[in-house]
Amino acid sequence: MTAFPPLLALGSSLLAMTAASTAAFAQDTIIQSGDSYFTAAQAELSRKIAEQQNVTRAKNIVLFVVDGLSVPTITASRIHEGQLRGVDGESNVLSFEALLPYTALSKTYTHDAQVADSAPTATAIVAGVKSLNGTIGVTQKVTADNCASQKGAEVTTLFELAETAGLSTGIVSTARITHATPAATYAKVAGRDWEADKDLPEEAVAGGCKDIAAQLIDWPAGNGFEVIFGGGRGNFMLESQADPENAEQTGARKDGRDLVAEWQQKYNDGAYVWNKEGFDAIDPAKTGHAFGLFNRSHMQYEADREKDAGGEPSLAEMSVKAVDLLSTNPDGFVLMIEGGRVDHAHHAGNAARALTDTIAVAEAVQAVYDKVDPAETLIILTADHSHVFSIAGYPERNNPILGIAGVADDKKPYTTLGYQNGPGAKLDEPRADLSNVDTTDIDFLQQALVPLGESETHAGDDVVIFAQGPWAHLFHGVVEQNLVFHVMEHASDLANRAALAAR
């Protein structure tokens, strides 16, 4: 019997030959072969044909979670970033679109809801199971806001496996480090709002449940996170302690635990910082653990960062510093980087800040990619959920993405970007006339259809997974959100490595 070459090898060579022949003969057979769009697509095809699947073990994993990054947010941010640079926004490419070639759509529903919040979706991403809205680090067996139900429902996260296996771990976020997404890496709570002890209901206190901030300091995995950068300083400070940026504000803790001091006592190789000056002074060669809390609550939006009293590092700066610190471990690292405030800007109905923070994430992706070895680092970027944010109308090419799309039947202008619900609609008030309004202003709130004065809502549509590196090719098609954990674990073999290390 004739032996045939492996299908993949044969297919790759045939496709390469096909691409070359297409380029050679297209001039004679396809009239539009000289068109700029046609030739650009041919170049893109050649790049895709040349891609090789990486099936080696991932030494490092970098997981970007962009809270609320819907597909329209990606598109609008791409256009906005290009327009800010003075180039064609529509054909512009964000760094993660260019650097992370494998993609899939992620189904974000939770065990109990069509539309998710950030707590169970983050748990799905870092622990591989779907759970209930409002809960963190637990399975579907939990009852929301019920302390007693946590027992036996706790999950093991990728970060706990990594610490057990001897890898270094880190979390970076522009939100409070006790907020849902970063908290999912370490906390087990039936209530996502239990960020400090003052937030615990009586039942939880009586049942012995810990708040999220205390769980971070008491985290038993390995020797703890080597890197923690984010906001949420108040949840680690006593209510009698004045905040270093604003003496009129104090910490939140009522239990007598100064968690910052406890962390400092725990690590003789640690550096605790709260401002840009302290951050810049961290020397990765001399620092084994770094703890940076740069705001009492969430960090500033990227557009407002320079106004911060103590100064805040950018997401890219925090990400690079984290990689520098974690890379001192020859066994590798696992790092989560959250662009947490994209979500908050959408809730406020403020598209400009949502897009600006998304662009900051793209800058962080490029900075991290440039620091690591892409061949041994699985880099993933995804979102936890979507938002009711849209790009509509028929604006002309190169029209400002934050600008006016056209005039509606009520003879009033409407913007290209808008929301299905949120603060941009006012109860019992007619739609505002935007004729003399600067809709590109950073503080402008896009108009909405349904009035929700408090906050715009999440949406239930699928979000994108972008990936590159070892086993990134497993991300294709439409997948369940909790698959992300399973791909990361498979690529790194952390479960087996942790089991061997624990013997």
Strands 227-231 and 270-273, bridge-based pairing: unpaired
Give the DSSP letter of residue 34. Answer: G
Give 468's DSSP letter: E
Active site residue 118: yes
Tokens 């810049």 belong to which residue? 280
| Neighbour tally for 323: CB within 10 Å | 24
Amino acid present at 405: A
Residue 80 phi/psi, 5-degree rounding, is: -65, -45
User: In whole angstroms, how far apart are CA 386 and each of 71, 72, 407, 462?
Assistant: 8, 9, 28, 7
Residue indicated by tokens 């999950």: 155
Q: Give the tokens for residue 187.
A: 């906390």
What is the number of other CB atoms lying within 10 angstroms of the CB of residue 488?
A: 26
Locate the DSSP E strands across 408-486: 413-415, 417-422, 448-451, 458-459, 463-468, 478-480
CA 210 – CA 150 distance, rounded (Å): 11
> What's the CA gap between 259 and 267, in Å, rounded?
13
**Size of the chain in residues:** 503
Give dist(CA 410, CA 286) in Å, integer: 65
User: 104, 476 in Cβ contact below 8 A?
Assistant: yes
Q: Which residues pair with 339 in a beta bridge?
A: 66
Q: Are 232 and 174 in contact (CB under 8 A)?
A: no
Other beta carbons within 10 Å of 358 = 26
DSSP letters along 289-351, please? EEEEE-SSSSPPPGGGGGG-SS----HHHHHHHHHHHHTT-TT-EEEEEEETHHHHHHHTT-H
Task: From the candidates 70, 106, 118, 386, give the one annotated as an active-site residue.
Answer: 118
Q: Any idea which residues carry the catalytic annotation? A: 118
